[in-house]
Amino acid sequence: MATLADIAKQAGVSSATVSRVLNADPTLSVAPATRDKILEVAAALNYAKVKHVAKTARIALVQWYTKDRELTDLYYLAIRMAIEQAAQQADFELVQTFAGDVSSLANIDGLIAIGKFSDQQQAQFATLTDNMVVVDMAKTNLPADTVVPDFAGAMQQVAAAFAAADLHEIGILSGTEVTSDGQATLSDVRLPLFLAAAKAAKLPAPRQFQGDFTAESGRKAIEDAIHLGVLPKALFVTNDAMAIGALQALQAASVAVPEQVKVMSFDDTSITRHVFPTLSAVHVDTEQMGQWAIQLLKSRLQDSGRPPLQIIVGTHIERRQSF
């Protein structure tokens, strides 16, 4: 039986391109002549696509947060819901688990992991299936596909917005977190990228504040900044939950936003539009991230031997009242 690799070799393209053409991927940009060549070769080789994506495809969806913690950070909830919707459209059977716990999983055809995972957790995933997609974790030890936001591009956009506002005192409130098994402490990838982007934009060195991605930690960090007299004139916060806490601290201290302090967040979950003032934020398209996770898994189920792919989802700033 002909394989995707056989078609790719004769057509002079990659297996990934063959897979996407044969699955009518609407996001694929390929020349009509190339598409026709792939279809001609597939027909000549009597290629019959094996339907891996029926209800018999049992997929584990592993959320790194607990259900309760997920409700405090709507970003990961939004990704999970997007994956669930895309999985339903793909006719997958989903088996959900939280807090990175895969101890009860068995007989799965693929796995989608949302969030950050320790080396030990990743090793557990690898014992369950060869077909894996990791969402929101750029670097893994797994031969897995990954889907991440464009962190570097986003930080350049934020720095450009700060520079355009001619700001001379800026700050960043970033976070650290720990994997659900307590085995790894994770730094915020946005911090070094923002510092580099600020330097490239000829902004003053940002003051640095730290939380743990919870609203309470954001409130405490900004309360301390106010008390110490080091509150900047503009603040970039690396997730919505901490930004909400920062707003609470500013309001409690009668610091006007944006007149005295401008605030910009990252994620742009629904809560940014339901606080006062409404939050300007870097918008991350969680729906696209979920759709790409399912698309990549479908591709891998059909061609498990292809090399891992990484999808980087673009971002943009949504301007509201806080900046």
pLDDT tens for 246-259 read: 999 999 999 999 99
Residues 168 and 280 in one domain: yes
Which range has the worst mean pLDDT, 44-48, 123-127, 285-289?
A: 44-48
Q: Which of 104, 96, 95 is nearest to 67 (CA)?
A: 96
Q: Do residues 307 and 194 both lie within one domain?
A: no
Three-state secondary-structure class, residue 20? helix
DSSP letter, residue 129: -
pLDDT band at 183, cuts 50/70/90? Answer: very high
- Asked if pLDDT for residue 55 goes beyond 60, the answer is no
Query: What is the rounded average pLDDT of the residues 54-70?
Result: 87
Is residue 239 in some structural domain?
yes
Say yes or no to pLDDT of 49 above 70: no
DSSP 253: T
Q: What are phi and psi of 46, to 5 degrees?
A: 55, 40
Residue 38: pLDDT band with limits 50, 70, 90: confident
Q: Are 94 and 192 in a shared domain?
A: no
pLDDT at 51 over 50: no
pLDDT of residue 56: 63
> What is the predicted pLDDT for the residue at 156?
98
- Asked if the structure places residue 53 within a domain, the reply is no
- Which pLDDT score is estimated for 254? 98
One domain for residues 109 and 80: yes
Q: What is the mean predicted confidence (pLDDT) over 204-230? A: 97
Q: Which domain holds residue 268?
A: 151-284
Confidence band for 14, pLDDT divided at 50, 70 and 90: confident
Residue 141 falls inside a structural domain: yes
CATH number where 76 lies = 3.40.50.2300
Q: What percent of the chain has pLDDT over 90?
A: 78
Verify that 217 and 306 share a domain, yes or no.
no
Most confident of 11-25, 28-42, 189-203: 189-203
Q: Specify whether 196 is located in the same domain as 259.
A: yes
More confident residue, 22 or 230: 230
**E strands within the chain?**
58-63, 93-97, 110-114, 132-135, 145-149, 170-175, 177-178, 185-186, 207-211, 234-237, 262-267, 280-284, 310-313, 315-318
**46 found inside a domain:** no
Residue 260 lies in a domain: yes
How many structural domains are present in the chain? 3
Residue 144 and residue 63 share a domain: yes
Query: Which residue is it, tokens 């391109």?
Result: 17
Q: Are 74 and 143 members of one domain?
A: yes
Confidence of residue 54 (pLDDT cuts 50, 70, 90): very low
CB within 8 Å of 264: residues ≥ 6 apart: 158, 161, 234, 235, 236, 237, 279, 280, 281, 282, 317, 322, 323
Judgement on whether residues 171 and 203 belong to the same structural domain of the protein: yes
pLDDT tens-digit readout, 149-179: 999 999 999 999 999 999 889 999 999 999 9
pLDDT at 53: 41
* 161, 96: one domain: no
Note the pLDDT of residue 40: 76
pLDDT of residue 17: 84
Is position 67 within any domain? yes
On whether both 201 and 300 belong to a single domain, the answer is no
Residue 189 lies in a domain: yes
In a shared domain, residues 279 and 297: no
Whether residue 166 is contained in a domain is answered as yes
